[in-house]
Structures are given as structure tokens and as C-alpha cells.
């Protein structure tokens, strides 16, 4: 029986088909779907910030940052049986939700999150096969582990599938 698994902000979950993983309220945050189509094992991470290095390692939630959450989720998926070279990624989010002063680093957090996610996935040699990022609106991200389809739902916009 299929189950819907919810991922909160600064969290990730890994599971296998026939489940669906969902995360809500992706604004400047980025949702990263990782998938192995052979085993139908996947994970969804909802990262909030790009980089953990400016925080004390004793204080951090590793699931909050792109540079720690992604490799941790990959390791969990490998323990579940995912093959090393079969993982692909689909990403969403990274919006600029508020108007800010030009040049402000605070306003660019969504863009920095997307860049950091792409850098970490490249470092791990995981191809991004679909992307729905940027612009100025929030997203809800559904990830169907039976099919590998990522569905994005946004207020007053059509639902898109990747």
C-alpha cells in the first residue's frame, strides 16, 4: 500500500516504491529528489541554507545545509541498496520570495542554495535530469517513488511533472 511521507524544512527522508515523498513551502529553500530507477529507492531533502562551514559543527542540523544533507541522504540510500552510479537528481525551489536591495546577499539565498546544490551534486557525480528553480513563487514538491516523477504544485499555476 502506498504511503505519503512528509519532509519538513531542514529534513530529508529516503524510502522505496510505492511511496510518495512530499515537501511543502519551498521558497528560497531547495528540494532535492534523488532516485535509483532500478531499485525504485529515492529520497527527498528540503535544504534551507547552502553551506554549513560557517556554523559550529556541534550546533548544526546536518539536514539544513546542501553540503551535508545531500551526501548524508546518498549514504542512507546506499545502505538501502542503491547502486553507486545509478542515482539521478531532480531539484526545485530556490525562489527569491521578497524584493530586496540590489546586491544584498540576503536576497540571493535562493540562488545561492541552487548553486550549492548543483555544486554538491556535481561533486558526487549525480546528474540533474530535471529542474524547476528560481523566479518568485513557492512550490510544493511531490516525488513518486514508483515512477520517479517529480510533481510541482504552486498557487495559481498549473501543476508540472518532470
Q: Catalytic annotation on 29?
A: yes
Catalytic position from the list 29, 34, 74, 89: 29
CA dist 43 to 24, 26, 27, 102, 105, Å? 15, 16, 19, 35, 30
List the grid coordinates of 11: 529534513
DSSP, res 157: S
Task: Tell me how far apart the alpha carbons of residues 31 and 90 are, in angstroms, rounded to a whole number.
Answer: 8
Let me know: does 89 contact 75? Beta carbons within 8 Å. no
DSSP, res 21: E
Q: Which are the catalytic amino acids? A: 29
Amino acid at each position: 500500500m502506498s504511503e505519503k511521507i512528509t519532509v519538513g524544512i531542514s529534513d530529508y527522508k529516503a524510502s522505496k516504491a510505492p511511496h510518495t515523498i512530499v515537501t511543502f513551502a519551498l521558497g528560497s529553500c531547495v528540494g532535492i529528489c534523488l532516485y535509483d530507477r532500478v531499485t525504485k529507492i529515492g529520497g527527498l531533502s528540503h535544504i534551507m541554507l547552502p553551506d554549513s562551514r560557517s556554523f559550529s559543527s556541534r550546533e548544526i542540523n546536518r539536514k539544513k545545509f546542501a553540503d551535508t544533507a545531500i551526501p548524508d541522504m546518498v549514504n542512507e540510500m546506499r545502505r538501502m541498496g542503491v547502486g553507486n552510479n545509478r542515482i539521478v537528481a531532480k531539484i526545485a525551489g530556490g525562489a527569491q520570495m521578497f524584493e530586496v536591495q540590489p546586491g544584498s546577499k540576503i536576497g540571493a539565498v535562493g540562488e545561492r542554495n541552487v548553486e550549492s546544490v548543483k555544486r554538491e551534486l556535481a561533486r558526487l557525480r549525480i546528474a540533474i535530469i530535471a529542474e524547476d528553480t528560481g523566479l518568485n513563487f513557492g512550490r510544493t514538491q511531490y516525488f513518486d517513488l514508483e515512477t520517479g516523477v517529480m510533481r510541482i504544485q504552486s498557487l495559481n499555476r498549473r501543476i508540472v511533472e518532470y
